[in-house]
Amino acid sequence: MICGRTHEELLRDIKNFHGYVAPGLVIGAFMVDVAYRLLEKNVEADVIVETKHCLPDAIQIFSPCTVGNGWLKILDLDKFAMAFHDRHTHAGIRIWLDLKKAEAHPNIYKWFMGQVSKKDLPSEVLVADIMKAGDDILSHAPVVVIKNAQREKKGAIRVCDRCREAYSASQGEICLACQGLGYYMQAAANA
Ligand SMILES: [Zn+2]
């Protein structure tokens, strides 16, 4: 069992959440599984993931940590790693894909390093290899998180003088969108 699931359930849950069985999420499931085996029981674990790609979804499927509840933070370091840590003491465990170990699994290594096309290495073959490798390709080490460990608290709310929408008062006199950071323009309403 991985993260309390059979192999079939694991792949099914990935497909349901992510849209398709991405190899990175399968590896991510093993990473989360390692983390929860090593974390002390009853610890309130937050997690920092070191890439925007794939891995955040593995965490959201296989752990209680999500972007929305604030227990998952995403750093854009573009590394295939994550660190689960006690939200109070910040002590925890970092898990990463270990290239040295992955060398013993050529398909996984070549896929991870972008050295093989999808045509030459079909997804089913790769995923089967990842399932077989399990946590063989992972390493972990204890860490203390020294940045980004605090949960963000919601501050005071005010109403923007321009758009009349509520926003976080810490943004200033008017909301960030009205300060020029807006991302849209008004389109004509449908008749
Ligand atoms: Zn505004």
Determine the distance separating the centroid of ligand 1 and the alpha carbon of 164, expressed in angstroms.
6
Specify the fold of 7-144. Answer: 60s Ribosomal Protein L30; Chain: A; (3.30.1330)
Spacing, Cα 160 to ligand 1 middle (Å):
5
State the average pLDDT over residues 74-84. 97
Which residue blocks in the chain are alpha helix, DSSP H? Answer: 7-18, 23-38, 55-62, 99-102, 106-112, 123-133
Cα torsion through 57, 63, 69, 71, rounded to 10: -100
pLDDT in tens, 19-63: 999 999 999 999 999 999 999 888 999 999 999 999 999 999 999
Query: What is the DSSP-derived secondary structure letter of residue 31?
Result: H
- Residues whose CB falls within 8 Å of the CB of residue 73, separated by 6 or more in sequence, listed in order: 46, 47, 48, 49, 148
The pLDDT value given to residue 191: 62
Ligand 1 centroid from CA 109, angstroms: 49
Domain chopping of the chain, boundaries: 7-144, 154-191
Q: From ligand 1's centre to the CA of 153, what distance in Å?
A: 21
CATH number of 154-191: 3.30.60.80
Report the separation in Å between the CA atom of 187 and the middle of ligand 1, taken as the mean of its atom positions.
17
* CA–centroid distance, residue 175 to ligand 1 (Å): 4
Percent of the residues in the chain that have a pLDDT greater than 70, as a whole number: 99
Whole-prediction pTM:
0.91
> β-pairing, 166-168 with 157-159?
antiparallel
In whole numbers, what is the pLDDT of the chain averaged over residues? 95
| Segment 157-168, tens digit of pLDDT | 999 999 999 999
Please say if the pLDDT value at position 151 is more than 90. no
